[in-house]
Amino acid sequence: MKIVYLDSYALNPGDIDFSPLFELGDITIYDRTLTKSETIERIGNAEAVIVNKVVLDGEIFGACPKLKYITVTATGYNTVDVAAAREHGITVSNVPAYSTPSVAQHIFALLLEIAMGTGKHSESVKKGDWGKCPDYTYHITNLLELSGKTMGFIGMGAIGSAAAKIAEAFGMTAICYHSRSEVEGVEHVTLDELLERSDIIALCCPLTDDNKRIIRKETLDQMRDGVIIINTARGGLIDEDDLAEALRSGKVSGAGLDVLTDEPPKSSPLINLENVIVTPHIAWAPKESRTRLLSVTVENLKSYILGNIQNKVN
């Protein structure tokens, strides 16, 4: 079987063994594929494609008639037109839950940096500010104790459930909107109630047509003054202009973002705001997480070869 991996570098910049992939068939691996014409040319007569962020649509499927299987090296698969894939007889699989521990961890890395300004204080000390201080202590940002706060989760799948347990360990109350199932210790509420009650709101849902820009002026106006927004899901869940205005006005006291609408961003009204922390879509990227991702991707391909497809999304 001929296999093409269109954009492998994010998963493996050189620290993971790709040999299990080479055992599956005739595979060609590219670090990056940047244009539609390049995508079509590289897929060519391949039967299976491994892809992360390269957009695959009906035009590409029509130009690559031998393509029968796509496995996405991610949980989210919004870059693949799954309806068009179905129309062309192409099966699409994803990799669910591989990054749950690391993304839950990163939610709190962002939140704790907002709450305590750890990095900013360390930089200040290294510049010599502590040595010049007349007191034994000082702080250069407002500090926030998480215990007693309410953390609202929009989306309560594996990642939201894991993060809610961490919130509980910090002494916080966890509430959620749009959960697949009941989660012990988490109160399920309407979106309006979540917006009104939460001190911190974490986005832990996939991006869909229904929730695109769920964080916008109308929903921001419903939130408590000084709310904190955390997004490790998808940038399209937020209207960046509306959030920037809320951050400038103080309606939102801080935001921790691992994702933006455009990645990499050519421009964003959020990046240079003082009360925003932005990381370059790394919540999923610890080596342990990427190793699990590769392992399930290999199993997805094996299951396709054996005719017993797993993790099918269309």
Q: Report pLDDT for 182.
A: 79
In the residue annotation, 234 being an active-site residue is answered as yes
In a domain, 296, yes or no: yes
What are the tens digits of pLDDT across the range 82-104? Answer: 999 999 999 999 999 999 999 99
In a domain, 241, yes or no: yes
Q: Report pLDDT for 293.
A: 98
Cβ-contact 42, 28 below 8 angstroms? yes
Instruction: Find the largest Cα–Cα distance for the chain.
Output: 73
Alpha helix positions (H), 7-91: 19-22, 36-43, 58-63, 82-87
Write out the residue range of the structural domain in which residue 300 sits. Answer: 2-96+287-305
Q: Report pLDDT for 277.
A: 98
**Residues 267 and 226 both lie in one domain:** yes
What span, in angstroms and rounded, lies between the C-alpha atoms of 281 and 262?
A: 11
In a domain, 78, yes or no: yes
- In the sheet that 227-231 helps form, which strands lie side by side, from edge to edge? 187-188, 173-179, 150-156, 200-203, 227-231, 252-257, 276-278
Find the helix or strand (DSSP H, E) in which 165 lies: helix 158-169
Task: Please pick, among 178, 281, 290, 292, the residue that the annotation labels catalytic.
Answer: 281
Domain CATH code at residue 269: 3.40.50.720
**Residues 152 and 195 both lie in one domain:** yes
Task: Please pick, among 106, 178, 234, 292, the residue that the annotation labels catalytic.
Answer: 234
**Residues 194 and 162 both lie in one domain:** yes
Give me the number of domains the chain comprises: 2
**Residues 173 and 295 both lie in one domain:** no
In the residue annotation, 281 being an active-site residue is answered as yes
> From start to end of 104-246, where are the E strands?
150-156, 173-179, 187-188, 200-203, 227-231
Q: Report pLDDT for 289.
A: 97
**Residues 106 and 213 both lie in one domain:** yes
Q: Which residues of the chain have pLDDT under 50?
A: none
In a domain, 183, yes or no: yes
Q: Report pLDDT for 183.
A: 84
Question: Is residue 250 left, alpha or beta, with left meaning phi > 0 and alpha meaning psi from -120 to 50?
Answer: left
**Residues 89 and 217 both lie in one domain:** no
**Residues 91 and 143 both lie in one domain:** no
Task: Please pick, among 59, 123, 218, 263, the residue that the annotation labels catalytic.
Answer: 263
